[in-house]
Every structure is written in C-alpha cells, then in structure tokens.
Structure 1
C-alpha cells in the first residue's frame, strides 16, 4: 500500500488545493464543536431543572404530609 503523500508538507499542501480543503475542514469542525458544546450545556441545564423540580415536589409532599399529620393529631385530641 502506497501512502498518498510523500511528506507532511505535501499533506498540508493538498496538491495545491490546501486553502479550499482546510477551509472546508474548519467550516465543518467549528459547527460540529458548537453543536457538541450546545448539547452539553443544554443537558446540564435540563438536569439542573429536573433536580430542582424533584426537590420542590419532595418539599411539597413533605409539607402536605406534615399538615395531614398535624390535622390528624388535632382531631384525636
């Protein structure tokens, strides 16, 4: 199997089309990187919101249970 380029310089020159090739690479890598970062940030925000919502629901349930226990204890007396 023969390598496509004889040296690193030939690889980076891309047979005279280096500007177009590397420009295409940059215009592909930048949006993909942005998409990955956006997805990670959105995931982090979503998990935070879920944790907050679950915490709020636990507090509400605990308050309702406390109120029910208090009312039940008041009726027994």
Structure 2
C-alpha cells in the first residue's frame, strides 16, 4: 500500500479535501440523477395507465352507443 496510515490516505498528500469533495459531488450528482429518473419513470407509467384506462372507457362508451342505436 502506498499510504502508511489511514490518516495519510484521507489526507492524500495534502489534496484530500479536493479529492474527497470531487468524489462527494460525483456521487451526489449520480444519486440525484438516479432518484429523479426513478420518479419520472413512475410518473410516466401512471400517466400511461390512466391513458389506457381512458381509452378503454371511450371504446366501451362507443360500443354501448352503437348497440343502443340499433
């Protein structure tokens, strides 16, 4: 191992603050992206389900209107 102790590893030769900050920003950005993507996917799936239900009701209504006219 190149570092003599855990303290040296965290310090990263005096650049530890910048190194760990960059890791933190990267992980935070990726985490935010994943959370927002999952939420958007859920919203889109709910909208699709509502649209399918609406279309089925319209088809049923049209079918009932045709039967009542004949």
Please give the TM-score of this superposition, normalised by the length of structure 1. 0.80
Gaps of 5+ in 2: none
Query: Are 1:8 and 2:6 matched, yes or no?
Result: yes
CA distance in 2, matches of 1:25, 1:48: 35
Find the counterpart in structure 2 of residue 26 from structure 1.
Answer: 24
Q: Rg larger in 1 or in 2?
A: 1
Q: Which runs of 5+ in 1 are unaligned?
A: 73-77
TM-score calculated relative to the size of structure 2: 0.87
Instruction: Give the number of aligned pairs.
Output: 70
- RMSD across aligned positions (CA): 1.3
Q: Extract structure 1 runs of 4+ deviating beyond 6 A.
A: none
